[in-house]
Amino acid sequence: MGQAVLTRLEGPAPETAIAADLIKRAAMVAPAAIVVFGMVWHLGGAISTAFAIALVVGNFALAAFMMSYTAKISVGLMMGTALFGYMLRLGLIMLAFFLVKDTWWMKEGIVPFGITLVVTHLALLFWEMKFISASLAFPGLKPGVSKES
C-alpha cells in the first residue's frame, strides 16, 4: 500500500485571516504613530511614517495573498513562495523607498520612516503571535462558545 501524498491544500486560508487581523491592529496604532512622529519631525515625519505603515500593511497583505494562492496549487510552490516571496517583498520595500527617497518629506522624515518600518513589522508580528499562541489557533479558527449546555 502506498501513502497518500499531500500535494495541495484545500479549505480556508489562515494567512488571509492573520493578515486581516494584522491590518486591523495597524489601523488602530497608525494614527498615534503618525501624530507622535509628526510632532517630532513635523509634516515630513508624519508623511514618512504613514508611508512606512502603508508599506508594512501592503507587505503583510501581499504575503498572505501569495501564500494562500499558491497553497491551492501546490505545497512545493507554497514553500518556494515563502522563501523567495520574502526576498521579493523586501525588494519591493527597497524599491518603494528608492522611488521616494529624494522627496522633501522623505528627506525630512528618513529617521521616522526607518523606525516605523522596523518597529511596526516587529510589533505587529509579536502582537499577533501573542494572540495566536494564546488560542492555539489563528483568529479565524478561534473556538466559539457553544450555547448548548
What integer pLDDT is reported at residue 10 of this predicted model? 74
Q: Output the average pLDDT for the chain.
A: 86
What residue ranges of the chain have pLDDT lower than 50? 145-146, 149
- Residue-wise burial string across 115-137, b where 16 or more C-beta atoms lie within 10 A, e elsewhere: bbbeebbebbeeebeeebeeeee
Q: How many C-beta atoms surround the C-beta of residue 17 within 10 A?
A: 18
What integer pLDDT is reported at residue 84 of this predicted model? 94
Instruction: Check residue 72 and report its DSSP letter.
Output: T
What integer pLDDT is reported at residue 104 of this predicted model? 96
Contact between 12 and 126 (Cβ < 8 Å) = no
What integer pLDDT is reported at residue 88 of this predicted model? 95
Give the pLDDT confidence of 130-139 residue by residue, as tens digits. Answer: 777 666 555 5
SS3 of the chain: helix, strand, coil, percent, to 5: 80, 0, 20
Q: Could you give the CA distance from residue 59 to residue 46 in angstroms, rounded to a whole number?
A: 20
What integer pLDDT is reported at residue 12 of this predicted model? 73
Contact between 99 and 32 (Cβ < 8 Å) = no
What integer pLDDT is reported at residue 149 of this predicted model? 45
What integer pLDDT is reported at residue 142 of this predicted model? 55
What integer pLDDT is reported at residue 71 of this predicted model? 86
Vertex 62: Cα angle to 60 and 63 (nearest 5): 65
Cα dist from 47 to 53, 61, 107, whole Å: 10, 21, 11
The residues near 121 (Cβ < 8 Å, ≥ 6 apart) are 56, 59
Contact between 45 and 75 (Cβ < 8 Å) = no
